[in-house]
Structure 1
Amino acid sequence: MRRLGGVLAAAVLCGTAACTNAPPPPLVPKSEAPVITTTGPKVTEVVIGVDDVAGGYNPHSLAAQSPITTALSSLLLPSVFRPGPDGAPQLDRNLMVSAKVTKAEPFTVTYTIRKDASWSDSAPIAAEDFYYLWQRMRVEPGVVDPAGYRLINNISAREGGKVVEVVFGKPFPGWRSLFANLLPAHLLKDAPGTWSNVLSTGFPATAGPFQVRSLDEPRGEVVLERSDRYWEVPTTLDRVVIRRATHSAMAESLSKGDNQAALLRADAADVNLLKAIKDLTTKPVPRNEVVQVLLRPASEQLKDVKARKAIVAALDRDALIASGTQSGPSAQYRADSYVVPPSRTGYTATIQGNTLNAAAADQLLAEAGYVRNAQNAWAKGGKPLRLKIAAPEKDEPYVGLANRIKAQLAERGIDSEVVTPKAEELFSKQLLEKDVDIAVVPRVDAGDSAAGLASAYGCAGDAPDGGTPTPANPAGFCDPAIQPDIEAALNGKALLADVLARVEPQIQAQAVALPLFQVVDLLGVLPTMVSGVDTGAPLAGVLSEAPEWRRLEK
C-alpha cells in the first residue's frame, strides 16, 4: 500500500504541476557539487560470504542439500521442532502452542499451531501444510529420511486447521523429527510441474522473521530483510546479505570489513588464508552431510556381494578421505560409522583401518566369476567389467572423489566411467534404476538416527493405504535378515545403540556403502563488527541464529 500510495501521490503532483519533458538541469562543476544527504534511518545489515547461492532450495530433497538451503530454510520456513544447543529437538513456540502424544493406541500426536502464525501472503499455517509434506515425503524418491513419514496412516484437522492430529500405524519415538521446514501447501499442491520444481528457484511464500527481498543466482546474492508480517519479536537487523565469492575475494572483503563473516568449504590453504586476517575468529561448522560411496546391489554388475567386496578392497579409503578433505576442517571428522555422523551424540566408530587389499580384490573378483583378459582387464563370460560411477553435477567433493575412485579401480584393472548428471536427475531417476553401479553421494542426517537407518538401509514397502509403493533407498539395498532390527529401532522396541551394534557389522559385510567423512565448513567472523554470529545448533546451520545477530558500531 505504501508503494501504491507513492505512485498515486506522484501522479497527483504531476497533474498539478503540468509535467513536461523539461531539459535536464545544467551540470554543476565538481568543486561546487552539493552534498547529498539521506534523511532515512541507517540500514543495519550483516554481509556473509559463501561458496554459492545456487538453487534449488527444497530442504527435503537430497538433490538440494547445501549450506545455502540449510540457511534459507532455517530463516524462511516454519518448523514444529528445532534443534536445541545440544542437538535435541525443542518445540518452536514462535509457531506452536503444543505438540504431544495424545494416544498410545493407535499412536497419535496432536499439534496445536498458534492462531497468529501465517505465511507471508497472509494464508494461515495450518493442517494442509502438514498433510502436503506427509503425502510428498512418503512417495517421492530422493527425499531426506522418509521412514518416519511412511509410518503415518492419517492426518486430520479441527479448529480451522490449527489443531492437527497425526495417527501412526506403529509407534514412532522419533516423531519430533517430523514436520520441520513446512512448505506452503496452498501454493504448491495444485501448482503445475512435479516435486522437483518445489522451491527450485525461490520461495513462493515464507513464514519467519526474515523475508526474501531479492534472490539473484546469476549475481550470486541473496538479500533477506526483516519481515513486517512476522507475528513474533522482530529481528535486530534490518537485513542479511548472503554473497557468493571466491575464497580469496572473501578474505579481501573480511580484511576491509565489507563482509562481517564468511562460511566456506575450506582446505588447508584456506585455513591459513583466514588465519592471517586481523581480529578474525574461525570455527568448524559440521554439515548434516556425510560423503559416502554406495556400491549398489540394485546394479546388475554389483548384485553379487563378492563383486561389491572386491570393489571395496580395491579402494584406498584413506587416500579418498585425504583427497576429499584436503587437510581442511573435514579431515577431523572421518566417518567410521554407517549411520551416525561424527559430530552427533551417539557416534561410535564401526569401520577400523583402511580398506585397501589388492590381493583380496583380485581373489574376490575371481570368486565372482571374473577372469583377467589379455589386456589385464577383468571380464566375465567374455563381457568386460566396466562400472558406471555417478556423482551430482558440479558438486564437490563428490565429482572429484568419483574421478579418484575411477583412477584407483584402474590400478586394479577394473574399468569404469564417471557420469555427472544433474542432482535431481540422479536422485529421483537414475538411483531408482540399475545402470548406476557406484554412486558418490551425501547421506543426510535429519535428526533421528533410527529413521536415518531405516531410510538408508531399510527395505522398500507399500504405502500405508495401498497406494503408490514407496521408493527403494538410494543403494537399492534390502536385507530381510536385518529388517526386523531396523523396524525395532524405528518403533522403539529396541535401543538404537543395541541395534546398530548388531546391524552395522552386517551392513559392512554386505559391502553396500563406504562412508568417508562428514562435510565441515569453516566459519570466519569479525567479532569487532558483529555479535551473535556462531556455529548455530547442530543441524540448524549458522544462519539459524541470525534473528539475534547485532551489528556493532565502529
Structure 2
Amino acid sequence: MRRLGGLLAAAVLCGAAAACTNAPPPPLVPASEAPVITTTGPKVTEVVVGVDDVAGGYNPHTLAAQSPITTALGSLLLPSVFRAGGDGTPQLDRNLMVSAKVTEAEPFTVTYTIRKDASWSDSAPIAAEDFYYLWQRMRTEPGVVDPAGYRLINNISAREGGKVVEVEFGKPFPGWRSLFANLLPAHLLKDAPGTWSNVLATGFPATAGPFQVRSLDEPRGEVVLERSDRYWEVPTTLDRVVIRRATHSAMAESLSKGDNQAVLLRADAADVNLMGTVEGLTTKPVPRNEVAQVLLRPASRQLADVTTRKAVVAALDRDALIAAGTQSGPSAQFRADSYVVPPSRAGYRATITGNTLDPAASEHLLTEAGYARTEGVWQKGGKALKLRIAAPEKVEPYVTLANRVRTQLAERGIDSEVVTPNAEDLFGKQLTESDVDIAVVPRVDAGDSAAGLASAYGCTDDAPDGATPAPANAAGFCDPAIQADVEAALNGKVLLADALARIEPLIAAQAVAVPLFQVVDLLAVLPSEVSGVDAGAPLAGVLSGAPEWRRLDK
C-alpha cells in the first residue's frame, strides 16, 4: 500500500532597483491609517485527549492489537453494520446501512442493504467485497477476536452492485448482529503483499467515517484526526481530535493548564489520587472489552494431563494476582468471577467463589500425577517440571502478572520461565503450537457472549478436503462433554444462562483458565472545557462519542 502525498514548493525571486532621481520620497502613512494585515486563519476547534500509548497495530479484529487506541480509531475510522447502544444492545448504524434483517429461516440468511452513498475515503464504495474479505480472514486466521460466528457462514453473495449482501449460515445464529463490525477496505487489502498481521500495522489505507487521519506519528506518540470532507452524513462539530501519549504526571499537568480536555489512562491507586488534585476534573471508570486471565493450555506437552493442571491452579494465589494486576485502581472493582461474561456486561453472574490457592491440594495432585519433590523441586523420571509462561511483550498488566505467576509457582517448588514474544507472534503462531504451557493473555468480548463462549472453549470442526482448517482456541482446549451445550447456546437452542450453568462447572473441573479481572481505564474530563465526553457505549470506547463532542466557549 502506498501513501499518496505531494510537496509543492515554489520560489519566487523578486528584485527591485531604485533609479537615481531628485523626486522626494513618498509620504509616510500614519499608523492609525495603515491597513491591518492578519496572518492567522480561522480558529480550529479541537479536543486533545491524553493516553498511555499510541503503539502501532490497529486491526481491531486481532488479539495482538487490542488496546484503547485500537478501539478508539476503529470506532471513528471504520464502518460497522451495528454499534452498541447506550444499554449495550446492538443498534443498526443508519449512517452506513439502510437495513439488516433475517430474510430466510432455512437456510438461515441475513440480508444487508448498504447505503448507496456510503464510500471509503478514496471514493471506492463500501460493498459486499468488504463483508467477504472480513469473513474469509476471520474464519481462517489464528489469533482473531471471536471467530465462532463467522465460522457458521456458508456463503456470501451480492447484488445491486454489491450494495445488497446476502449472508447464508449453515446453522441459525441469533448473535448475527455482532458480525461485520469494523469493516476493512477489501479493495486495497485483498491483493496486498504481506500477511493478515500486517493489515493496519502502521495506519489506515482508507477510512469511512466522520473523521479521517491527518497524521499518525507513532514515534512522537500522537494521532491527529480531522473532520472528513468525504463523509456522506452530518459533519462533526469538531474540526479535530488529537490523541497524545503522555506520562500520568504530564497528563495531570496538561489538564490543570487546559492543554488537554480529557485523558484516558490505566490507573492504579496513586493515579486516581493524582487526578484528584486537578481542580474541576470529573472521573469515571471505563471498562475495556478484555478480561485478564491465566490460561493453562491442554495443548502443551507439560499440561496435557488435567491432574497436573489442577495442581498448578492450586499453586496459584488468585487473590494476590488480582491485587497485583489492579493495584487498587478502577479494575479492582471489576473482579472477573465468570469464565465467559465480563463483569460490566448484562448477564454477568459470579460463578467462581473463593481463592484458588491450596498448597496441600497442589502437592497431593502433583504426587497423583507421578511427580515427586526432590531437593525442593517437583520431578518425574528424573526430569524437573518446568513450565513456560508467555505474555505479550510490553503489554500490561499481562507481563507483570506473568512474573507474579512465576514467583508463586516457585514458592510451591514448580520451576518456570517467563517469555514475552511480540503480540503478533504470540497470538498468531505460538498459541497454535505446544511450546507455551501457560499464557497470561486477555479474553476479548466482541459483543455476543455465546460466540465468546464458543470461541474461547469450543472445539473446531475438521476442515473439508482442500480447505484451511480453523485454528483452535488460544488454550488448545476441546471437551466433547461440553461441546453440545456450547453449540446449543451459539445456535439459540438454549438460553446462554442455562448453558453456562452447566458448562462453567465443567470448565472449572478441567482447570483450563483462571479469570482475574476486567481491565478498566480511568477517564478524566474537564467539563468546563468540553461537553459530551463520556465513557461511551458499553465496550465501545470513549472516542465512540467523539462526533458529538463540543468545545465550550470561554
**TM-score under structure 1 length normalisation:** 0.94
Equivalent residue of 1:451, what SS?
Answer: helix
How much does 1:237 deviate? 0.2
Taking the TM superposition and a 5 Å limit, the aligned residue runs for 1:191-270 are: 191-270=192-271
Q: Secondary structure at the match of 1:389?
A: strand
Q: 1:352 offset after TM fit, Å? A: 0.1
Q: Retained in 2: the 8 A contact 1:150–1:464? A: no
2:436 is aligned to 436
1:208 and 1:267 map into 2 onto residues whose CA distance is: 34
Superposition map of 1:95-244 within 5 A: 95-244=96-245
Aligned to 1:51: 52
Instruction: Give the secondary-structure state (helix, strand or coil) at the position aligned to 2:360.
Output: helix
Give matches, 1:289-308, under 5 Å.
289-308=290-309
Shift in Å, 1:381: 1.0
How big is the shift at 1:464? Answer: 7.1
Please tell me the root mean square deviation across aligned C-alpha atoms, in Å: 1.8
CA-to-aligned-CA distance 1:307-360 (integer Å, 9 cap, x gap): 000010000000000000000000000000000000000000011010000000
Deviation for aligned residue 1:40:
2.0
Do structure 1's residue 353 and structure 2's residue 354 form an aligned pair? yes
Residues 94 and 465 of structure 1: is their aligned pair in 2 closer, same or farther, counting only changes over 3 Å? farther
Matched residues, number: 534
Opposite residue 425 of structure 1, the aligned amino acid is: D
Q: Which residue of 1 aligns with 2:549?
A: 549
1:518, 1:418 → 2: CA distance? 22
CA distance in 2: counterparts of 1:137 and 1:552, whole angstroms: 42
Q: Provide the rounded CA distance (Å) in 1 between the counterparts of 2:16 and 2:407.
A: 70
The CA distance in 1 between the partners of 2:211 and 2:474, in whole Å, is 34
2: CA distance between counterparts of 1:355 and 1:498? 25
Deviation digits for residues 398-454 of structure 1 (CA, Å, limit 9, x no counterpart): 000000000000000000000000000000100011110000000000000000000
Specify every segment of 5 or more residues in structure 2 that has no aligned partner in the other structure, as ranges.
Answer: 18-34
In structure 1, what is the equivalent of residue 29 of structure 2?
A: none
Equivalents in 1 of 2:194, 2:7: separation in Å? Answer: 37
| Counterpart for residue 79 of structure 1 | 80
Counterpart of 1:483? 483
Aligned to 1:365: 366
Q: Which amino acid aligns with 2:256?
A: S
Q: 1:527, CA displacement in angstroms?
A: 0.3
TM-superposed CA distance for 1:6, in Å, is 11
Aligned residue number for residue 24 of structure 2: none
Q: CA deviation at 1:462?
A: 3.3
Q: What is the distance in 1 between the residues matched to 2:195 and 2:15?
A: 51
Residue in 2 aligned with 1:28? none
Whole-Å separation in 2 of the counterparts to 1:137 and 1:464: 17
Query: Map of 1:522-537 to 2, 5 A cutoff?
Result: 522-537=522-537
Alpha-carbon spacing, 1:4–1:521, altered in 2? closer, same or farther (3 Å): closer
Partner amino acid, structure 1, of 2:137:
R
1:98 counterpart SS class: strand
Structure 2 Cα separation of the partners of residues 466 and 152 of structure 1: 18
Please list, as runs of the form range in 1=range in 2, the aligned pairs for 1:369-518 lying within 5 A after superposition.
369-373=370-374, 375-463=375-463, 467-518=467-518
- Tell me, what secondary structure is at the counterpart of 1:481? helix
Matched, 1:93 2:94: yes
Give 5+ residue unaligned stretches, structure 1. 23-33
The DSSP-based 3-state class of the residue aligned with 2:452 is helix
Q: Report the counterpart of residue 321 of structure 1 in structure 2.
A: 322
- Provide, for residues 21-48 of structure 1, a one-character-per-residue CA deviation record: whole Å limited to 9, x for no partner: 99xxxxxxxxxxx998434210000000
Tell me: CA distance 1:40–1:410, structure 2 relative to 1, closer, same or farther (3 Å): same
Q: Which amino acid aligns with 1:336?
A: D
**1:26 matched residue in structure 2:** none
Q: What's the CA shift for 1:376?
A: 1.0
Residues 392, 20 of structure 1: CA spacing in aligned structure 2 closer, same or farther, 3 A cutoff? farther
Quick one: which amino acid aligns to residue 63 of structure 2? L
1:276 paired to 2:277: yes
Q: Distance in 1 between matches of 2:38 and 2:508?
A: 68
Once the two structures are TM-superposed, the CA of residue 129 in structure 1 deviates from its matched residue by: 0.1
Structure 1 letter corresponding to 2:349: T
Partner SS for 1:482: helix
SS at match of 2:137: helix
Give the distance between the partners of 1:133 and 1:464, measured in 2 at CA. Answer: 21
Residue type of the alignment partner of 2:350 = A
What amino acid is aligned across from residue 515 of structure 2 in structure 1? P
**Residue 30 (structure 1) aligns with:** none
Q: Give aligned-pair identity as a percent.
A: 85
Give secondary structure in 2 for the equivalent of 1:123: coil
SS of the residue aligned with 1:404? helix
The letter for the 2-side match of 1:150 is: R
Deviations 1:29-74 (A, max 9, x none): xxxxx99843421000000000000010000000000000000000
Amino acid at match of 1:211: Q
- Structure 1 residue identity aligned to 2:482: I
Q: 1:151–1:464: 8 Å Cα contact kept in structure 2?
A: no
Displacement of 1:276: 1.0
SS of the residue aligned with 1:258? coil
* C-alpha contact (below 8 Å) 1:152/1:464 kept by paired residues: no
Amino acid at match of 2:499: V
Do the aligned partners of residues 36 and 280 (structure 1) sit closer, same or farther apart at CA in structure 2, a change above 3 Å counting? farther
SS of the aligned residue for 1:307 comes to: helix
CA contact under 8 A between 1:47 and 1:261: conserved in structure 2?
A: yes
* CA distance, structure 2, for counterparts of residue 99 and residue 466 of structure 1: 33
Separation of aligned partners in 2, 1:127 and 1:114 = 12
After TM superposition, the runs of 4+ consecutive aligned structure 1 residues lying more than 6 A away are 3-6
Q: What is the distance in 1 between the residues matched to 2:295 and 2:278?
A: 40
Q: How far apart, CA to CA, are the structure 2 residues paired with 1:427 and 1:269?
A: 32
